[in-house]
Each structure stands twice: as structure tokens, then as C-alpha cells.
Amino acid sequence: MTHHPAAELVFALDVFDGPLDLLLYLIRKDEIDIYDIPIAEVTRQYLAYLDACRELDLEIAGEFLYIAALLIRIKAQMLLPRPEIKEADDPREELVNALLEYGKVKRLSSLLEGLAISQARRYPRGNHYPSLPTQEPELVRVDIAALMIAFGDLIRRLPRETIYQVQPQEVTVDLRKAHILSLFDDCDSLVFEELFADDRRKIVMVVTFIAILELVRVGILRLEQATRFSPIRLCKGEDESASQLESA
């Protein structure tokens, strides 16, 4: 049985409730006007995210693929010349309406969830005080979805691999973590793509990405992006120590 490197992934990636949730994330991330969605750019990021999921062996629901096809169709329609006599309907209108409706439902759901949590914290009348559930420590939130999109873009730019001879590829998450950390010996930050420069084989890139996620998860590295469209950088974590680097 083949062991896929993603099997070593021991933490959950950002999970979207559905394709509209992912689209809302893309729109809000880049502060896009929902009534004037740049379909080409949003489609590119959406497909890059799906490609990253495929490479990590993560299951993609059929509804995500349906919206991918819809985005491609809208993109194609936007490229067609518009009739000069009669104003054509905006091909994005149906998608915009769906996103607006989904946004309303999501806000209402969030409001109801907040009310339920607030109600659960209140003590009932009487002498019986049920024990409240232990609050788990808050996890460090990093924008892994943006990193997934950047990784998907890298994968999409790779030329198709042609393998004439099968050779064992000695690549593990631990080896790639050690390589990544060695790159930070003489600097405090690197552009995301620089971490893949030494070996562009797809299997190595997948394992490298998993190693990056693990280093971000434990706080040894952190993500930074100066502006919305600037390259993602990996920087040394604020709590980095020699012992952390040795045990990574």
C-alpha cells in the first residue's frame, strides 16, 4: 500500500462549509466589490485551492466542482462580445445573488450560535450548578487558505513530469523541515516560493508544503503579507528558540 505524504498531516486545514463559503473568503480577502467580481482572478484562486486539495489527497465534494465549472462558464461568457443594441445581462448576476443570500444565512447562523453560547453560560435557578465544559486553549489562527492558494498556483505552473525510470524518492516531512529551517540560518524571512527552489519535483513540493504547514502550526514560522497582492513571506516565529528548531 502506497503511503501518501499527506497521511503525516496531523492537523486540520481551514474547512469551508461549501463552495460559496470559499468564494466569500476570496472576495473578502481581497476586499472585492461583490457586485463587480473580477471573475478571471477569483476563478484562478478558486481552482488553485482545489488543485492544492487534490495534491494533498483531500476529498473535494461535488458541489465544489460544480461551482468550478460555473466560474469557468461565467469567465468564458465575460470574454464574449456584448450585443450593441440590447444590453446583455451580467453573467455574474446569478452567482452574486447566490453569494448575497448565502451571506445573509451565514450572518444569521453566526448570530444564533453566539446567542446559544451566551445562553449556555448562564447558571439556571436552584442549587444545582452543572459543570461547564472546559474551554480549550485558543489556537493560533493563520491564513492557511491563502497559503493553499499560493501552493496551488505553484503546482499549476509545473511542467508535466515524464518519468522513464522509477527510482525510490527519499523524501520525508522531517527531512524537508530540516531543509526549510536551514534556509533561515542567515535570514529572518523568505518568500514562500523560495522554499521550493531546490527541488521542483511534484512529490517533493507536496511534502515541503506539508512541512511548512507543520512549522507554522507549532509557531516556529509565521505567515506575513505586506499588502493584499504582495507575495506571502515565511518569517521566524516570535517565540522561536534553539530547542524548538532542534525538535522540529
What pLDDT score does 132 carry? 45
What pLDDT score does 10 carry? 42
Which structural domains are found in the chain, ordered by start?
13-121 (no CATH), 167-248 (1.10.10.580)
Low-confidence ranges of the chain (pLDDT < 50): 1-2, 7-12, 85, 129, 132-142, 164, 241-243, 245-246
CA pair distance 155, 35, nearest whole angstrom: 31
The answer to whether residues 47 and 152 touch, using CB atoms and an 8 Å cutoff, is yes
Helix, strand and coil in the chain, % to nearest 5: 50, 5, 45
What pLDDT score does 242 carry? 40
The one-character DSSP state at 121 is: T
The one-character DSSP state at 165 is: S
User: Does the pTM exceed 0.85?
Assistant: no
DSSP calls for 26-38: HHHHTT--TTS--
How far from the centroid of its chain's Cα atoms is residue 26's Cα? 10
The pLDDT tens digits for 29-58 are 888 999 999 999 999 999 999 999 988 888
What pLDDT score does 85 carry? 44
